[in-house]
Each structure stands twice: as structure tokens, then as C-alpha cells.
Chains A and B, each alone.
Chain A
Amino acid sequence: MTAGRPVTPATASPTPDASPAPGAPGGAPLTIGLVVNPVAGVGGPAGLKGSDGADVQREALARGSRPRAAERAAQAVRALLARRPGTRILTVAGPMGEDSARAAGAFPELVRIAPGDPSSSKDTTAAVEAMREADLLLFAGGDGTARDVLDGAPSCPVLGIPAGVKVYSGCFAVSPAAAGLTAAEFVPGDGRSTVEAEVVDLDEEVYRRGAVAPRLYGTLRVPAVRARLSGRKVGSSSAGPGSAEGVAREVVARMRPGVRYVLGPGATTAAVGRLLGSATTLLGVDVIQDGELIAADVTEKELLALVDGHESCAVVSVIGGQGFVLGRGNQQISPAVLKKIMASGGLVVLATQQKLAGLAGRPLLADTGDPEADALVEGHVSVITGYRESAMYRIRSAIEELPA
């Protein structure tokens, strides 16, 4: 017994003193979908840098690894039910969710799919497709699982329970308990309560050889996590100047007539397209001039022709947590293209202050494969962090930063 500990259990009822939030469902039952990738994370302890592929999973188990996704999913469900008892849980029979839910003391309802044994990516995708009734979908896994969820085109917002080896995507909560608590506080149908988060994944084959190559696969709607801060001094609004919309407004405000803007992939650059009303692509490289989309999802060759003889500016975002801005997911901006751009309009990087802070003083990285081209961008670059807000940040060639 600790000092000051009350007699009643802490988890007896959800926030008894809190008045319901405006627009809160006032105790209406919430339906949470749960999908567990039972092999997620198995490769990490075995030093396999990931768990993608049946061979790797077998090897990891042979090396004595124990899967940890089931346990982490149970932690999330436990936190969810403690905060919001009576939540309806929809899941898949067996290790893809039912086992975790039951371990957490829940009585889940099962969707009608029959996963293979062992389960595969296809089962995750099928489970997501089968959960149309859920208000929010929790999935336990890593970046690879997030990609499978994305493939299932979920009809509701999702949130990842971090359980994989690689968790670079923005769609994960910081811990299993945080995922459960966020789910418990989720208000369905409230437009303010979700944001778009990027799904990125590393190519594990390349990663095992010692290189880091994050790639952007798409975006998922996730609950906007509003920190329960004690005594904070400032609020942050999803429509604030530091949001993707704020960054996009600044990019558009800086656009000059006649200049060709090469937009790299990413949710932030996609917001620029939205603001201009142009059908830019999320994953491709697009070119804008005078507010109009003049070429979408271009190849390197097409891009080289488009920037040749025109004042051009590259607008790229930071992909993944390592700080890469060139040579990851935007290889269309090749050394030859970059040399032309740096001779005219130059480079603009988009990132939130939070993302830059996450680099902990490490520089942004360029890895076009040509040290000469990388050298052109070395030094300090203007990083747009919001409307009329930027940071001056160091950028270096990746060759100098990463161990060979």
C-alpha cells in the first residue's frame, strides 16, 4: 500500500468528475475494431531488423524470439476498458485479436474471416475490410502492418499499437497504454478529432544491409492526440499555423509567377495541392506553375525536361524519422534534376517544428547517390514550419553522417 492510496480501485469508473466534452456521445457505446499482427516485432530481438516475410519470421522463432504483439495489444485493451468500461470490441478469432482481447478481460465479438495459420498480410487486409462497423480501428504491429491496414482501406479512423520492430509511421500511439486511452477518449464523427498521419516503411532488405531507406506509402486518418497537460500555457489547434494547412499556405504565399515548383511526395506537399485545388499525387512528384498542376507523378526523365531552361524550385518534406529530404521516396529528383534546380530556384523543405526537434540537433540528410549533387544543398536550408514561420536548419550529405 502506497501513501495516499485510496481504498477504491483507481479504475472503477471513467473520470467521475469530468463533465462530458461538448459533442461527446454522453456514454453511447463505442465500437473499437482490433487487429493484431501476431508475428509483429518477432524479428527485432533476433537482430533481423524487421519481421516482413515468412522466412524471416521462421528464422526469428528459430532464434528463440517470442512474439510480443499479442501482449502489447492486451495492454492497450486493458487501458481502454479501464477508462471506458462497456466498450464494444470487434476482432478476429484467435491470435489476430481475440486472444489479446480475452487476456485483457474483454468479451469480444468476432468478424467472419478465417485467417491462415500462420496469418499473413492478406489476413490483416481482410480483417480491416471486415470491420466496417467500427468507430475506430486499433491495430497492433509495426510499419509493415500499417501498410497492410492502408491496403484494407479502413472506413473509420485507425490507431497503431506500437508492437513492431520498425515504428516510423505517424499513425502509432507512443505506447500500448496510450493507444488504449486515446481510443477510450475518441469521439466518433467529430471532424476536429482526427488528423492525417503518414505511413512510411523501410525496405527491410536494404535495411539489413545497413542502409536506411524510408518510403512513404500513404496516409491514414488517426485520432488527434490532445495531450492532457497540467497547467499548460498554450494550446495547439489542428488548424493552427504549424499544421500541414499552415505550411501549405506559406508555400503558396511564397510562389512566384513563372517559376516551376517540383512538389515531392508526402502529406504536407499534398496539402499544397489541396490548397491550390490541384489534383497532385500523395506519393508521386508533381510540378506546379502559376498555381496550376502542369505535370503529375512524373518520372525522372520527364522532370529533367520540365526543369530544363525554367526557373525551378524543389519543395520536399522530411520522410521518416531520420531526417532524409532527398533520395528517399523522391528519387525522381535525381542528381541531374537537383543540379538544375539548385542553379535556379533552390530547395525548400517542409517540416513541423516537432519533427525538426525530433532530430535532436542532427542535420537533415541528402542522399541522391551523387556526392556532387548532395554538396550543392549542404549548409543551411529554409524549412517552412508554418504560415509565415520557418526554421533555418543544417543539411548534410548522408554519406558523411551514416556509418558505411
Chain B
Amino acid sequence: MWSSARTIAAGDLVIVWLTRDLIQPLYITPGKEFNSKFGVYRHADLVGVPYGSKVGSRNGRGFIHLLRPTPELWTVALPHRTQILYLADIAFITSWLDIKSGSRVIEAGTGSGSFTHSTARTIGPSGHLWSYEFHEARYNKAREEFGQHGMQDIVSITHRNVCKEGFTVEDTVDSVFLDLPAPWDAVEHAKQALRKDRLTRICCFSPCMEQVLRTVSALNDAGFTEITMYETLLRPQDISQVPPLQTISEASERLRECEKKREEKRIKQIADARSRGGKRKRDGNEDEAGGEGTEPGATQEEDGLESKRAKTEEDPSSGLSISDVVVATTNPEQGSSSSSSANLHIRSPPPSMTKISLSKTFPEVRGHTSYLTFACLLPAFARAAASQANSGEVDRLEEGGDGVTAGLKGEGIGSDSLSVSMEVDVS
């Protein structure tokens, strides 16, 4: 399955990583060209390049990374033919079913082959996977693909409706995975295919609760035990780096600074208006009156910009606005220039200040893929013993009415179970 050589050879499947959201499979065929919005690449040029290499395009329009295929990369790169199983589900199913090196597994249906690739990797050459697909076109496509990926020794794929015809093996596999619209119809067949000499396991993958309930009932009827159900998800985290959060004393300082500047500006405007002199004195008065009403908003906006700039720029002095300079020169005795640059020092973090990393869940995440229903099947001899014991049990129960076999346990018999109230007894 796939090349394990250090370098890429002709005929290899390579995963081309263009961006995080654009990952494509590529079969290396010298003579062909790979065209993308990140440039043009000749397949022949990629032969001999180590896996994992960054390669620049011939026309300088970008670069790509050439990766070794893994089932996980293949899953995100593959052309989706059906709803595919994602990493979290596949991984959880694999561990619950105890799929490992050498395992024998049944899968139905094959779908787009996502679980097939993952399982073929995990069981390795000493294991075997029997895969069944009832859709002919999908079956043909999958078979071709498994051949291309060198999986034909590990995976046998059969075109068949397993709900009607059952599986091709009997008393053979360690686990069965059913991803079918009506898994309950395949449960009895699965039971036949599972090994009888040891504990075996089954998983049914269904998106709807109604399917789960029918499956659970079919599993129970067929004698499966430890029936349980899980839902699992993987939530990507959005990580960002930001400067340390500001304290409120910094906010307070900034607000006071704003107010001070606004006041200085107002005084300056009054002074300007006065200096314009006699002829326009009346207009100037109107300006002054209007200024008090409208100016603050405008200045605030300016201050906002200014403080933003001050935060981002390293040199605090460049953060001084023209109005600061004007104020400073016109009123040198107030020392506003020095005090404001001192404040700016506080507000803008020194360049050496480390940033903090933040993590949060993305606003929209996948909320549900499917319900994973699991169950175990005991070895045949234990099932036989069990059914004998069970029938004996039923007889006894019928004879003795409430005669129940048991052990004893102090706690728990009370509280929620049988209880009798004083009142009822007395009456």
C-alpha cells in the first residue's frame, strides 16, 4: 500500500498540498503537467524529489508541498462519492472494534473507501478486509482505486447487496462494520461471518436515531450483548496570537487623555477664533457655540485613530498627532507634549513584549456525523450455555411467580426500587 521510499517515483500517488483547504491527489505520470492556480509543474520534475518537499512552480506563481499519502490525507483529498466517514468516527470505531495488525474485518458498504483505506493501513499485510458495495459504479471505481493503491492483497471487494445475499465468508472475521441504510437487515448475516471461537465485535454507523433503535433491537434479537452507542466529534481550535490584554487603568488613562486633548483643542479654537479679530467676531461666537455641540464627536474619532496608531507603532513619538505638536508649541508651559508621550509609552507595549496565544472553538463546527452503535458477540459455546441457562431461568420464573434468582447487594435495592409508604401499609 503506497510507497514507503524516501523519494517520489513515477507511478506514485502523491498528495499535493496547495493550501489547507486545497489538497489534491496526483498520480505521477512523467510527460504530464500539473496545472493549478499556484503554478505549473512537470510530473517528470517531481520524480526523485523527497516526499515532504516544498517545490516552486516553473512559472513562479507559487509553490506546493508534495506529501506521502496517508488514509487521513486521502480522505480529505479524495473526490467524495458518498458521505464519507471522518477521522474522529473512523478512529473511534477502529479502537472499539479492536482493529489492529493482523485483524480480519468486514466492511459494508465500501462507499468512497475512506474506512477501507484507514483499515487496510491499520491491519497491514497480515490482516484482511472484506469490503462489500452494492452500487455497481461505486464498486468499479473503488476496485480500480484499491488496485492503484496496491491494496489488492489486503482488501477483497465484492459487488453485492449484503442485506439480501449475506457475506462471502463464514466464521472468519474478528469484527464487522456496517455503514448501510438498513443495517438491521445485515445483522444475522454478520453473525454468521463472525468467528465463533472468541469474543467478536460489530459497529453500525447510522445518522438517524430511528435507525439506531431498529439496529439495537435486531442486535439484541440476534444475541449480541453489551450494546452501547456513542457520538464523537472533533472540534478544530482557532488559534491566534494577540498582545497581552489591556488593563482598565490603561483604558482610564486613555479616556482622560482624550478628554484633556478635547479641552485643549477647544481652548485653541477659541483662541483662533479670537485672533481672527473684529470683523468676524459675531461669526466666531457662533462657531464657538456650535463647536461645543459638534466637535467632541469628531475629536473623539481622531483620538481613536491616534491611539490605535500609537499602539501599533514602536516609536511612541511618531504617534503624536499634529494637534499634539501644535498644542505643545503654543502652550509650552503646560508640558503637554512630554506628558502625552509618557502616556503613550504606557499604552503601546514595548516591542519586546511577548504576545499571548489564544484558542477558541470555531463559531461553526460539525455538530453530528452519525451514531455509532456497538455490540459484542460471545464465543459460540458461551452463547449456548447462556441460552440453556436462560431457558431454565424462564421456567423457574414462571413456576415461582416472583421467584427471582439473585445475589445480594445492600445499597441500591432501596431508594428508586421497591418501596412501601407507611400510609399505604396502615390503610
Q: Do A and B bind each other?
A: no
Residues of A within 8 A of B (CB): none
Residues of B within 8 A of A (CB): none
